[in-house]
Structure 1
Amino acid sequence: MQLTNKQKQFLKSMAHSLRPVVLLGANGLTEGVLAEIEIALAHHELIKVKLPGDDREMRNAVIDAIVRETNAVKVQLIGKTVILYRPSDDKKIELPKK
């Protein structure tokens, strides 16, 4: 799924007031964490995930794995927090037209 710049800006503004729903711990990306992200995306559509560590390359690898496994879209990465979006069947968030 590709988002236009207008749609990304819309999602960023919606995510501004959100708190991270999932916090990755010292164990990193496990099956349980992926399951929790799946549940959060199915329920909220737009979530923040807080990543540990100072290694930027490792964080990017973890984000790529999350996006690949959950079929979500990375909206934005701010420091150690990533914003993810995946539309659900209920279509809770109405994106602006292209």
Structure 2
Amino acid sequence: MLTGKQKRFLRSKAHHLNPIFQVGKGGVNENMIKQLSEALEARELFKVSVLQNCEFEKEDVAKEIVKGTKAELVQLIGSTIVLYKESKEQKKLELPN
């Protein structure tokens, strides 16, 4: 579980990032979860955009992604989800205590 200080730090790091995944009409599926997990291992922190044609609520999409990837939800703002998961192999970010 992330502390408020850690979330603030991650939000500042994610601010300049562009979303690298989009969730559309089909919602979240197993293949997407697999790709998100691989991307989290490589990057640790990224954004996911929920498109307007998505049939599901963005809160539900975020919960499903977090559950499937075992990542931390840093922020859900507008239609953008910010995710973080510490990398086992390629650790890049050092979180404050």
Does TM-score exceed 0.5, indicating one fold? yes
Indicate the residue corresponding to 1:93 in structure 2: 93
Indicate the residue corresponding to 2:47 in structure 1: 48
- The residue correspondences of 1:69-80 to structure 2 (distance < 5 A) are 69-80=68-79
**Aligned equivalents of 2:32 and 2:95: distance in 1?**
27
Q: CA RMSD in A?
A: 1.6
> Percentage identity across aligned positions?
42
What is the TM-score normalised by the length of structure 1?
0.89
Structure 1 runs (4+) greater than 4 angstroms displaced: none
Residue by residue, what CA displacement relative to the aligned partner does 1:66-92 show, whole Å, maximum 9, x if unpaired? 101111000001100000000011321
What is the TM-score normalised by the length of structure 2?
0.89
- The residue correspondences of 1:10-49 to structure 2 (distance < 5 A) are 10-49=9-48
Q: Is the 8 A contact 2:24 2:53 kept in 1?
A: no
Residue 32 of structure 1 deviates from its aligned partner by: 1.8
**Aligned equivalents of 1:25 and 1:61: distance in 2?**
13
One-letter amino acid matched to 1:87: E
Residue by residue, what CA displacement relative to the aligned partner does 1:42-70 show, whole Å, maximum 9, x if unpaired? 11000100012378x72111111110111
Unaligned segments of structure 1, at least 5 residues: none
**Aligned equivalents of 1:47 and 1:93: distance in 2?**
12
- Aligned pair count reads 95
User: Residues 5 and 54 (structure 1 numbering): CA distance in 2 closer, same or farther, change over 3 Å?
Assistant: farther
